[in-house]
Amino acid sequence: MTLLDLFDASVAERSAALALNDVSYGQLATGTLRVARRLHEHGLRSGDRIALYCENRPAFVYTYLAALRLGAIAVPANVLYRSSDLAHVLNDADVSLVLASAETLPHLAHLDVPPIVAADLVEAWASDTAIAPAERVFLPEPDAPAIVVYTSGTTGRSKGAVLTHANLAAIAAQLISAWRWTANDTLAIALPLFHVHGLCAALNGTLACGARLLLHKRFDAAAMLTQLQQPGVTMFFGVPTMYVRLLELPEAVTLARLRLCVSGSAALSADTFARVAARFGVTILERYGATEFGFALGNRFGGPRIAGSVGIPFPGVRVRIASPAAAAVPEVAGIGELLVSGPNVFAGYWRNAEATAAAFVIDGDGTRWYRSGDLASYDSTQQVYRIVGRLKELIVSGGFNVYPLEVEREIDRFPGVRASAVIGAPDPVRGESVVAFIEAQLDVPFAQADLVAWLRERLASFKVPKRVELIEALPRNALGKVEKTKLRALL
């Protein structure tokens, strides 16, 4: 089973139903085949890579599906990437074509790049009835590469994670099953399609179950809040920052009509969770995922949805908490590295055998377990998993382990704190000391000394930050995840 199999079934059953904004499934399928013909005429062949360096718009979707039809490999590129990061992706993936828009084209001007296909032209091809649709002669093998998605690079140079056609189908099917996603749903998103949250969850999930996707070019809180109140809209997927921006709007509205609001890609604070429930009448479902496997854990659709937890494994996914030092598969008690296994787990890193080998451990029966690099614990009372932080971000202060996410969650509860990030700084006595960067609310008085005193009542002394730095805005990537490497450069 591949994603194209699932999409074709939606087209066969719901040709006249809306798929993407106001484009029907039949129109999307035919338009995709027209684009596939033109891309083939531009030299794109099975196995070739095509970079999708384009904001959210129909051209991205048409080109992505056309590439899969041709057996080519789609390489989504972060639209925030500039010369260095962009050149790395284009060169590492050895792309043959680049999809670019008027907005992204200027950033390619000074790079040695392959032929460029304009997004406006792709959309013209899709609707041009004079173009004969390409014959659907390519049936991808399930294990063939479908996309190469480059990691966010928050801890180093980004690597290309290879997701197969079967991976894409498995990820979509898991979410459809867990979230009771049906053809009657309409999902609104402004998540970027170059990331797995937008691409593998929102777009692929929609197309696989025959639902409708309302795609926003970028996130505008007021526009999204208006959209979410429209009749027929049933779902919203976002990142924590989006929910915070919705809360900042003055409108007193309810979103109780929505049957599902999902948060992911960064940790959701308990405060935001509670405020959204109180303000809008919806309980956010937090889930956990990564570029390398799509999604592994999520709070139960039927509840309870527990703030600060990421729930239970999705259908078909297995997880283990292992000793980080030994990288052992046998489960350990307490906090350890989260390992993931299942049909959603990626094949490996693009042309990087060393990184691929390091990313997996093999147990006695031959099962491959992906080493997530995330520290997790299991709450046996509430029967949910919790993500504690990144293994590489673990702070060892005076011989004691400090998990940044634990400290950040306490800081975020303090009045006047909009967001926080905790890192370790070299310390000649302790080895490392805890440093907190605070993004304060403009309309609420904030005193650093009061925060430290408040934390001393709630945390062990070795977890209390030794330094508190105010910052106008925490550096974030396109999905709202804090880039801690940039914070370390400020020390």
Cis upstream peptide for 304 (omega within 30°) = yes
The reported pTM is 0.87
Residue 55 structure tokens: 């904001």
Same fold, 219-388 and 394-488: no
3-202 to CATH, choices 2.170.120.12, 3.30.300.30, 1.20.1250.20, 3.40.50.12780: 3.40.50.12780
Signed CA dihedral, 227, 229, 231, 234: sign only: positive
Res 332: pLDDT: 61
The residues, ordered by sequence, that sit 6+ positions from 161 with a Cβ below 8 Å of its Cβ are 148, 149, 150, 151, 291, 292, 346, 349, 350
Signed CA dihedral, 290, 291, 292, 296: sign only: positive
CA dist., res. 192 & res. 214, Å (int): 13
Cross-strand partners of 76? 52
Strand, coil or helix: 426: strand
Parallel, antiparallel or unpaired: strands 49-53 and 23-24: unpaired
Res 291: pLDDT: 93
From residue 423, how far is each of 241, 384, 388, 441 by CA, in Å? 20, 26, 14, 21
Res 47: pLDDT: 95
Average pLDDT, the chain: 91
Superfamily of domain covering 219-388? ANL, N-terminal domain (3.40.50.12780)
Res 158: pLDDT: 82
CA dist., res. 471 & res. 438, Å (int): 6
Res 103: pLDDT: 95
Question: Domain map of the chain by residue range?
Answer: 3-202, 219-388, 394-488
Res 333: pLDDT: 65
Res 38: pLDDT: 96
Query: What secondary structure, in 3-state letters, does 224-262 show?
Result: HHHHHCCCCCCEEEECHHHHHHHHCCCCCCCCCCCCEEE
Architecture per CATH, domain 394-488, reads as 2-Layer Sandwich (3.30)
Res 154: pLDDT: 47
Residues of the chain scoring pLDDT < 70: 136-137, 152-157, 324-333, 478
Residue 115 structure tokens: 């032929």
